Structure 1
Amino acid sequence: MDPSRSRRSQAAIRWTAGLGVAVMTLSGCSGAALSAGGSTVDPSLKIGLIVPLTGPVSAAGQALRNGFENGVRKVNQSGGANGHDVTYVVADDGGDPATSTQLARKLIQQDRVSILFGTITGDTAEAVGKVADDSHIPFATAILGDPDRCRPYAWTFGESTRQLLTPAVPSLMAEHGKRVAIVGSDYNFPHSYAKAAREQTEAAGGTVVAEEYSPLGQTDWQPVVTRLAAARPDVLLSMVVGSDAVSFTQQAQQFGLLTPALGFDGAPLDADYYPALGPLTQGRTHVVRWTDQLNHPDSSAFAADYQSRYRWTQPVPEVAGNAYFAVQFLAAAVNQAGKTEPEAVNRQIGTLRFDSALGTATHFDPGNHILQANMLEATIQPGGLYAVTRSLGLVPDATPKGCA
């Protein structure tokens, strides 16, 4: 399921004291020398990538890293940022918030990065976001989700739950019925997803008839499936993530909950899971920010390069696309700022209007730092084609507030 790791020139590998995680300093293309511990002024943009390359969400983490690295290559092939190649440091947090916190501090204090990027789960993003705020360093995420609150230095390139659910829930209810069940992994993001899903369900005249959560690493889903089935839902929204998404969906079908008559949407329909769940998701529609079937030259070139470079025969994960375009957005903000000083870059991220495959003049809402970009409805077809069947345009999300 995981894409093969890219072949990269490695400038240095060292172990972070007390953490037991590899931290690698790399350059995007040129192999330009980096300053050691920030002792020499480095005019290039240096990004700290914190990503779970191990643990229960490592597949999504590796896809994020791959898309990020493709984005760096694209930027450097186009002249870099302020005329210098973008460089980066990769750190594996294993999906653990305490490790994420320590790595964020190290990347800022020792590696002297100008921007932090990455993480997958909401609790690790919250941990890094706090360090970024304290240090006045921009922090960008590329995964689906909503911040618990707006942070001045945190920027969400991934689609928000409301950007997904606003078009999806009314459509599912109109086709399947108004009884909605919600299931999720038991950490902060699935709970915030459920809150938004309840709002959308009630606004469309429906009722949430069941709500279930299980800790990451769950293997026996029969009790959860049984309780969900007893509620007789018409629609099931799942934010079970990582390897758990596969086992839950398979057991939901095995024990009779997941049928063609049941409306179904959520994380298991993401392209990441198609290799394991393809037959259970084909024919269903899924709201996305990006798909490798998007008809745009840069998008198509990225997808082809991703599949060739990583020998990837499945649909390219959406988080990889988000990361690829996010790096280009950040480099454009650095060019607009004319320097890599974090405060100046942070200001420019908030004002930039950027054209890409994700839309014209994409930008961040000043109140919540969520990217405002086009959304798409894709239909999952045999062979893992997430074919665009409807353009939804820009789906605004003005929650939560707190930054403007």
Structure 2
Amino acid sequence: MVPSLVPSSHRARERRVTPAPRPTALAAAGTLALTLALTGCQGAALDDDAAPATGGPVKIGVVVPLTGPVSQVGTALRNGLELAVKKVNADGGVHGKPVEYVVVDDAGDPANSTQLARRLIRQDKVTMLFGTITGDTAEAVGRVADEAHVPFGTAILGDTDRCFAYQWGFGESTRQMLVPTVPGLVKKYGKKIAITGSDYNYPRFYADIAEELVKKEGGTVVAKEFSPLGQTDWQPVISRVKNAGPDAVLSMVVGADAVTFSKQAQQFGLLTPKLGYEGAPLDADFQPALADLVAGRTHTVRWSDGVDDAESAAFTKAYRDAHQWKAPIPEVAGNAYFGVKFFLAAAEKAGSGEPEAVNKAIGGLSYDSPLGKGTRFDPTNHVLQADMREVTIGRDGSYKVTRTHPMVADTTPKKGCS
């Protein structure tokens, strides 16, 4: 069971109702409570056809799983976003007004994500949307954002083969992760690679690009296995992968499943020190549960709390102080923190809280942060062109940066961006 990461002062203001598993979209709209977290009061409902507010503060609608199989990662994203808004407001806000935000729990269900994103736009009149964890929920919100012409930012790692004109990804793209990773993995461990993943759109997209890059290095993908979220018995999958005789495993098994899969992979003899292992299970979210299994391994990330930078160190301290946090800080929290600051810098540059003006400013902004100097979005795929790091995971839970890959480009064109 994941412990609550919400400070007591925030929990007192939240009015969340835990949804039943896989509720219908209509039920989700009625049962998932909205939270106006910054001001501590619930906004008044507006008619769907009411005109957008003018001259008001910039408001962020946060769609995030606070319950369900990826709630641990969703909570970390929300925590990073909250600290970013707090910092921006302490520095004067945007257009001289404090930024506001509204948090909704989609439980990792795309039907919920769709309904809640529409509700945030129509009732809460948000300037921008941010959040989600899994690729299917990101795609669901991306479609809503495009329909409504409201910018939407994600902080999760990875992308898909589809691009939305109003969606912007602050997490590392698949190629930005794999291009620095695959050559070293093949060279160190061998040419036979197995791929495992959770069964939704993104892990399959990840597998296709991984296979392309493995072949480029003269290697072979000897197994590909996908399992639904919430899988508890991984033995059949592990047996098939083990029988394929891989030298290394690339895994995009996500959420709590990453821990279950990794532990059973060791139990049933697949995951040994001699086997290469890289992917989502090495993320900082899971290190406390997988300490001995991931210690000494390297991992490719956009940000870690081991980044030696004053701004990054200040965020790390604020996160630890706010949440009494001693474990490694999840990468998604850092991506959210610096991503939201980028979004709000674009809103300031736009000189307006009008969503289309903000979206245009996002596409034209160059922004310095620990994610890189002059980070910017490529117009052909809306991927943030930024630095990547190789980190080595210590037994003490440290994610020490052992190599920096400056401005790893991913300008692969995709359908939908304009």
TM norm structure 1: 0.96
- Within the candidate set 277, 280, 298, 2:290 is matched to 277
Secondary structure of 2:380 counterpart? coil
Secondary structure of 2:142 counterpart? helix
1:399 Cα shift?
2.4
Deviations 1:95-132 (Å, cap 9, x if unpaired)? 00001000011000001001011000000000100010
Tell me the distance in 1 between the aligned counterparts of 2:259 and 2:15: 34
Aligned twin of 2:201: 188
1:301 Cα shift?
0.9
CA contact (8 A) 2:55 2:353 kept: no
Q: Which amino acid aligns with 2:182?
A: V
- Within the candidate set 244, 250, 270, 2:257 is matched to 244
TM norm structure 2: 0.93
Identity percentage over the alignment? Answer: 57
Matched, 1:4 2:5: yes
Aligned twin of 1:352: 365
Q: Which amino acid aligns with 1:395?
A: V
Matched, 1:24 2:35: yes
Secondary structure of 2:412 counterpart? coil
- Within the candidate set 355, 358, 361, 1:342 is matched to 355
Aligned twin of 2:127: 114
Tell me the distance in 1 between the aligned counterparts of 2:163 and 2:211: 21
Aligned twin of 1:48: 61
Aligned twin of 1:167: 180
1:18 Cα shift?
2.9
Q: Which amino acid aligns with 2:331?
A: E
1:11 Cα shift?
7.1
Aligned twin of 2:142: 129
CA contact (8 A) 2:43 2:124 kept: no
Secondary structure of 2:308 counterpart? coil
Q: Which amino acid aligns with 1:8?
A: H
Q: Which aligned pairs between 1:39-188 and structure 2 lie closer than 5 A?
A: 41=54, 43-188=56-201
1:357 Cα shift?
1.1
1:41 Cα shift?
4.1
Deviates more, 1:369-378 or 1:41-50: 41-50
Tell me the distance in 1 between the aligned counterparts of 2:237 and 2:352: 52
Matched, 1:304 2:306: no
Tell me the distance in 1 between the aligned counterparts of 2:4 and 2:15: 22
Unaligned runs of 5+ in 1: none
Tell me the distance in 2 between the aligned counterparts of 1:286 and 1:146: 18
Please tell me the root mean square deviation across aligned C-alpha atoms, in Å: 1.9
Secondary structure of 2:307 counterpart? coil
1:400 Cα shift?
4.3
CA contact (8 A) 2:113 2:137 kept: yes
Deviations 1:177-227 (Å, cap 9, x if unpaired)? 000000000000100110110011011111000000111111111111110
- Paired residues in the alignment total 402
Deviates more, 1:18-27 or 1:295-304: 18-27
Secondary structure of 2:85 counterpart? helix
Deviates more, 1:213-222 or 1:38-47: 38-47
Deviations 1:306-328 (Å, cap 9, x if unpaired)? 11111111000000000000111
